[in-house]
Amino acid sequence: MKMNQIKYTITGVVLMIMIGFGGSLHAQTAKDQSKTADHKKFIEMIVGNWKLKSIEDAAQKKGDKSGAKKTRENQPDQGNNAMQMIEFQPNGRYKMNSSTNAIDSGSYRLSEQHGILYLESDAAETPSEWTIAIKRNVLTLNGGNQEADKRYKYVYVKTKDGLGTN
């Protein structure tokens, strides 16, 4: 007899818990999320023009073991850098410029889950791979799939939001 009472009591408790949570639990949809920068996807935030703000050298941050000094002379020439300006278009295309010339163009895609940007140049066979972070109007690209690029972090500031579909 006691076994039946325990079963009914447990069933009643579980039923009350389910009723109590039933009104507050539901699947979250895109409409439920606010459209602030913190909740937008990378693909929504990346479209626009980005200008290079700085290049950070991981070797200099950690203290370069080769003996290089932290001086302006050792910094990459940002004015002549091939990645001075990047334009990401809503149609999945990008254009890359130095301060004076068009350098590269191609298609891009993003892995939201892994935070990876793939740039597939019209001129190269292998896409370049970058870890990506976007916070408000700051885009950070870190290390490509080239060993030399892995030590550099490129920090961009958005200069123009959402472009046409050229």
pLDDT tens, residue by residue, 42-71? 888 999 999 999 988 877 766 555 544 433
pTM above 0.85, yes or no: no
Amino acid occupying residue 23: G
Query: For the chain, which domains are there?
Result: 42-161 (2.40.128.270)
Alpha helices by DSSP H, listed for the chain, are 2-22, 42-45, 58-62
Q: Give 24's pLDDT tier (boundaries 50, 70, 90).
A: very low
Amino acid occupying residue 142: N
